[in-house]
Amino acid sequence: MSVVSEGLLVLFGVVVLIQLYYYLLRFGRVAWYKKPQVAARPQVPVTIIVCASNESQNLKRLLPRLLEQDYAHFEVLVVDDRSTDYTHTWLEEESRKDPRVRSIHIEQTPNHFTPKKWALTMGIKHAAHDVVLLTDSDCQPNSPFWLSHMAAKFEKEGMQINLGYSQYHKKPGFLNAFIRFETLFTGMLYLGAALARSPYMGVGRNLAYRKSFFLQRKGFMEHRGVLSGDDDLFVNYNANKRNTTVTIGPEALVLSIPKTSWGEWYRQKLRHWSAGKLYRAGSRMGLGLFMLSQWVFWITFVLLLSLWIEPYLVVGVFLFRTLLLYYLLLQGSKKLGDPFRCWYLLLLDFLMMVYQLVVGVTALFTKQTKWK
């Protein structure tokens, strides 16, 4: 066997070991998650905050689901961010119908703030309660107990941040399958990291923290000019093993409306990824190593087979790694509350590597796209 062949085999083995580390110690923590005992009826008051810009139709679907939450003491605060439709008038009418509904209207964003972060900052400052639970206007809780499950963790003293999970509605078509696969993959990675006491991000579609903690940490000031990152950058800069927890399960799940075209979805992901280059150095290194292992794994696998270098060993290692990943994804998706089943998982796995490479590299050289 030549030096080149041996080098390829060694490199293949190294990246497989790196992947197994992440799969077992990150994905595995979600797949084998055991729900802890929490207060049956949490009493901490909560403000649910939704930022919306010309989202009247989505708000009409969301608000009834929020108001039906089985919880004693909460309010819904909608931040109407420069809407030009009838959102403002409609919210005033809803406020008169139900005292739990409040709204604030934003007419202009300061130059030194991006619109979403300013709207969210104003919402948090106007929140009546210390615990704030965030979601988006195009989302819907999966159950009437979402609020109760997300609030329960704040009964514990010192808990400041609670990370939830949000998946996209299942629709026909390959794009939807890949969107849901990527969301599951990302969700298991960041939730598993938090369960391993190394939190690095969260998603604003299902995220809770204390208002007092947000103000104490000066909110979004460190990245106020960055369009994205109102969720993941805030968590990345402020979460640690002592102040952050997770809440997962069918009743704590939030579902969102997926994009229906590749172009819309690509722009959305590019905006999300653009915040990643501002993560703390440790987070960037860890995620970078994992993504690099994905790329090198597929490249070395193809090269080893095409050169017919130890093909049975290579295929055996490939099958072990791949079957383990699929098992963890399937088990994890059940624990998260939205079982993922797809017969072409191998193709989605390969495209995940291509997606990470294309979007990740492009995001490094792309400035922010706009919030509505």
Mean pLDDT of 93-107: 93
Distance CA 49, CA 75 (A): 9
The structure's pTM equals 0.92
In the three-class reduction of DSSP (H, G, I as helix; E, B as strand; rest coil), residue 80 is classed as: strand
Confidence bin at 38 (pLDDT 50/70/90): low
Judge whether residue 371 has pLDDT over 60.
no
Q: What are the b/e assignments for 123-162, b being 16+ CB within 10 Å?
A: bbeebebbbbbbbbbbbbbbbebbbbbbbbbbeeeebbbb
Judge whether residue 272 has pLDDT over 90.
no
Distance CA 167, CA 338 (A): 8
**Cβ proximity of 71 and 151 under 8 Å:** yes
Which domains does the chain possess?
A: 46-170+199-252 (3.90.550.10)
pLDDT score at 368: 53
**Cβ proximity of 190 and 163 under 8 Å:** yes
**Cβ proximity of 204 and 254 under 8 Å:** no
Judge whether residue 168 has pLDDT over 80.
yes
**Residue 255: partners with Cβ closer than 8 Å, 6 or more residues away:** 139, 140, 141, 142, 166, 167, 168, 169, 338
Distance CA 315, CA 116 (A): 48
Counting every residue, how long is the chain? 372
pLDDT score at 369: 45
